[in-house]
A and B are shown apart, each in its own frame.
Chain A
Amino acid sequence: MEQSIIEIKNLVKRYKDLLALDHLNMEVRKGEVFGLLGPNGSGKTTAINCILGLLSYDKGEIRVFGKPMEADSYESKREIGVVMQNVAVFNELTVIENIDYFCGLYVRDKKERKRLVEEAVQFVELEEFRKFYPPKLSGGLLRRLNIACGIAHKPKLIFLDEPTVAVDPQSRNKILEGILELNRQGATVVYTSHYMEEVERICSRILIMDKGRPLATGTKEELKQMIKMGEKITVDVSDLKREELQAIRNMQHVFQVDYTDGKLYVQCSGGSHNLVNVLGYLSEREVSFGRVYSELPTLNDVFLEITGKQLRD
């Protein structure tokens, strides 16, 4: 069995009348990129702050590296790196000074620190901006600096709380590639986001949360298998009769059919020839059709089916 780095049992956290975490159970295993996926306000950041010993909680148990996590768990904290949702750097220190300052909270040896800081600068590709002050950096570069400050000391466990918010696509790609590289170098990563594409791209296991409750956990394949939908077909059709719609609804594996604004939506639960069957039928009935799309289910579909709402609602 793989070693657990984080274990959370029945974690309950209230903000007055609001139940922020409702009996959260979670396990993060060594070497994985664990994704916490949920809409804004679902409790992802609260969960992370509880794990890090910043927030008090009402009930439950948290163990990190096999030990209870407290505010003064300095030994455990030495092995943890955190990239907060908000950029937390000194505006009056240069890029290199900021990284050295925060690295110095973990590493005392000057030589060792110098090497680590240099590696971090290269890792986030900020070599050209060493002497820049944060207010002079773009949003994407600032996020990269924020990451460098959190990971320069080469932690074994890294928390990244929505590190790509308000970041341009190029920087986002670099950040995601960087996270995978950290994981390849041996770090266990806990990644929170409400961007399902990111989570789907980099996370080996995912916990879907909403309103403080864990809804489902597993690999992306496992999560997709949990839902009924296996394939979603969209066809541009100018005119479709009621009996033709009914005939498609009666096809094998088809469980839902909608026709709105000249588009036919067909959701299938499985099978391998659904698209061929639908298009064959339309040809047979001499129904003219335009563009055709076939999509496999996404995590958004998983979230939609579990909660009845879009992930970004």
Chain B
Amino acid sequence: MFWHLYKYYFKASIRNKSAIFWCFAFPLILASLFYFGFGNLLNDSEELKAVPVAIVETKAAKGAEGFKQTAEELSKKGEDQLLKVQYTSLKKAEKLLQEGKIDGFYTLGDNVRLTVKENGINQTILKEVSDQYIQMNNMVRQTIKEHPEGMEKLVKAMSQNMVENQQISLGNEDANMMVQYFYALLAMVCLYGGFMGLQSALHAQANLSDIAARKAVSPAEKLKSTAADFLVGVTVQFLAFLVAIGYMWLVLKIDLGSQAGFILLAGFFGCFTGVSIGLFIGSIGRMSRDTKSGLNIGISMFFCFFSGLMVGNMKDIVEKHVPIFNRINPAALITDCFYSLNIYDDLSVYFRSCISLIIISVLLCLGSFFMMRRKKYASI
């Protein structure tokens, strides 16, 4: 009976024009809008350019002589060129920064101080360079003081480390800031599975739909019937995910990373979670179908907003102030999966996010079945 129910509900679902639009067509429209909206940004950032920076020397700059050497090393022309350095006065550096001709300037005194005007990836690179220099400088001083015999070894190790940092600082796949919007969009596709989950819940409660009433008077077990509808929801939503990611990959030519298997697996777990959210909302109380539908959309968009669908760095802001929310926000967990595949060498963040998604889904499903288990209704 399970596969009989699955077959027909799958047919009914993929013929539902409204569901098809929201699950399949709408994400494609949004992806196209993102693509044309970002246009040049996507192309420009394909190749990383050297970060324009000024160095201002003060009277006490002797203590930071090593930093000048480091900066020169990083400014050497070639594929690995990270900085484009010019030496200026403080006044001129401030003017250049104001005019946007440089992304920041270092003031060399007893130590190295970075001044930037705004936040961004270039500013992060500049900060990373100065932080590493300060850290290494401290290590050298300490080594000279405590273990002068190991100095040669340390210098060798540090120079190698600096080169490696230069190469991998932006990840193995040259992650693109704008790609994060597409990650958030894919998370939205997954959470739109809520539509399907909601339908499954409505088809399981005789007080909410005529079809559910008809099923309730038949010998079909509610758990089996709802499970079939739920699985259809996951299937249809995963198909929608495949269409969306296929469109981004093949038509828009967006580089979402090379680990296709893991990306699809994360998408599957995301769809599972999306359908579970809809099932849960559909099982709550005696709210009308329209109220539940509105609630489902509202919750999905709330999660997507905080994963960076509308504001790119929103997830970072949340991470700074309420990190726990990023651990339980399904949309953030889905984007974390994609992001971690693109950025990190190891898969620990990816697996942690996947496990969180599975736990959330299981809890929501259990909650849904607990609420729907009631056998008789007070009114229909």
State the A residues within 8 Å of B (CB): 15, 49, 52-56, 70-72, 74-75, 77-78, 80, 82, 84, 86-90, 92-93, 97, 100-102, 104-106, 108, 149-150
Contact B379 A15 (CB under 8 A): yes
Contact B379 A80 (CB under 8 A): no
Q: For the complex, what is the distance from the CA of A49 to the CA of B379, rounded to whole Å?
A: 9
Tell me which of A54, A86, A92 contacts B376 (CB under 8 A).
A54
Contact B377 A56 (CB under 8 A): yes
Residues of B within 8 A of A150 (CB): 214
Q: For the complex, what is the distance from the CA of A78 to the CA of B15, rounded to whole Å?
A: 30
Residues of B within 8 A of A54 (CB): 206, 213, 216-217, 376-377, 380
State the B residues within 8 Å of A (CB): 1, 4-5, 8, 11-13, 15-16, 206, 209-211, 213-221, 375-380
Q: For the complex, what is the distance from the CA of A70 to the CA of B216, rounded to whole Å?
A: 11
Tell me which of B5, B210, B219, B380 contacts A77 (CB under 8 A).
B219
Q: Given contacts A15-B379, A55-B376, A55-B377, is CB(A92)–CB(B16) below 8 Å?
A: yes
> Can you offer 7 A-B residue contacts whose CB atoms are under 8 A?
A52-B217, A70-B375, A90-B211, A93-B12, A97-B8, A104-B8, A149-B214
Tell me which of B4, B16, B211, B377 contacts A104 (CB under 8 A).
B4
Q: Given contacts A77-B219, A97-B11, is CB(A71)–CB(B376) below 8 Å?
A: yes
Q: For the complex, what is the distance from the CA of A129 to the CA of B11, rounded to whole Å?
A: 19
Q: Given contacts A53-B376, A72-B375, A88-B210, is CB(A101)–CB(B217) below 8 Å?
A: no
Q: For the complex, what is the distance from the CA of A80 to the CA of B209, rounded to whole Å?
A: 20
Contact A77 B217 (CB under 8 A): yes
Within the complex, what minimum Cβ distance (angstroms) separates B369 from chain A? Answer: 15
Within the complex, what minimum Cβ distance (angstroms) separates B342 from chain A? Answer: 39
Within the complex, what minimum Cβ distance (angstroms) separates A2 from chain B? Answer: 25
Contact B8 A80 (CB under 8 A): no
A159 to B, closest residue via Cβ: B217
Q: For the complex, what is the distance from the CA of A102 to the CA of B377, rounded to whole Å?
A: 22
Tell me which of A52, A92, A100, A101 contacts B15 (CB under 8 A).
A92
B14 to A, closest residue via Cβ: A92
Within the complex, what minimum Cβ distance (angstroms) separates A69 from chain B? Answer: 10
Contact A84 B214 (CB under 8 A): yes
Residues of B within 8 A of A55 (CB): 376-380
Residues of A within 8 A of B215 (CB): 105
Contact B11 A71 (CB under 8 A): no
A153 to B, closest residue via Cβ: B218
Within the complex, what minimum Cβ distance (angstroms) separates B246 from chain A? Answer: 25
Within the complex, what minimum Cβ distance (angstroms) separates A119 from chain B? Answer: 19
4 closest Cβ contacts across the A-B interface? A71-B375, A88-B210, A105-B218, A92-B15
Within the complex, what minimum Cβ distance (angstroms) separates B288 from chain A? Answer: 16
Contact A82 B214 (CB under 8 A): yes
Residues of A within 8 A of B1 (CB): 104-105, 108
Within the complex, what minimum Cβ distance (angstroms) separates A159 from chain B? Answer: 8
